[in-house]
Amino acid sequence: MMRWLTLYARSRRLPLAILLSVAAVALTWAGWGLFTDRREINQSLAVLTVLLALAPLIPTMAGDDDSLESGVALNWPPRRALHVLAFAAVVSVPLLASAATGAWFGPAGVLLRDVAALAGLIALGVALFGIRLSWQLPVCWTVLQMLFGNLAEPGWREAPFLLFQPASSKPAAAAAIALIVAGVLAYAWRVGPRTAPAEVAFGQ
């Protein structure tokens, strides 16, 4: 089992992806601590940091040859679902750890909700549009929320603008849960286009 996990992590370039994610969080944390006396990091910057920390997840969601995962020797859907959830958990650790330092990314409930929503959108994007175009869905949705999030009114409108809602918002929490569930299920069964070997080789 350990040998399989090691080979899987290397084939998906997971060590580099995790290093980039932690680096994105650390750079924001260090920069905020250096240039301001305020402890809580600006909400828009915190959301952008979550997105940047999750971005390295995208290239890890396909191997060098997707046809290798179409065989029946291994049960791939649970492994793909665990891949997304584990990566989201790894990204959450440094964000939550900031609560014990002088620069804070925000309440734990808000951070976990944002990580879940954006990880779900990334997984949904990969499943529907493939690796190459999957970034457009979370990036466009985040930018729209940054531009119009303050216009959301209490009630169901909190759901589409969930990234800028307080931790107590039930519609925002429900929307985040729906996104992570939909994204994980869609990616687990890969309903969309798969990555051509030539495209993966070009990306490397």
Q: For residue range 3-62, what is the model confidence (pLDDT) as tens digits? A: 878 888 888 889 999 999 999 999 999 999 899 989 999 999 999 999 999 999 899 988
Tell me the pLDDT band of 169, cut-offs 50, 70 and 90: very high
HSE-up (13 A, CA, CB side) for residue 58: 24
Distance (Å, whole) CA 194 – CA 204: 17
pLDDT at 195 over 70: no
Whether pLDDT at 71 is above 80: no
What is the number of helices (H) and of strands (E) in the chain?
Answer: 8, 0
124 is written with which tokens? 């949904």
State the pTM of this model: 0.87
Q: Which of 7-21, 148-162, 187-201 has the lowest mean pLDDT?
A: 187-201
Question: Phi and psi dihedrals of 40, rounded to 5?
Answer: -80, 125
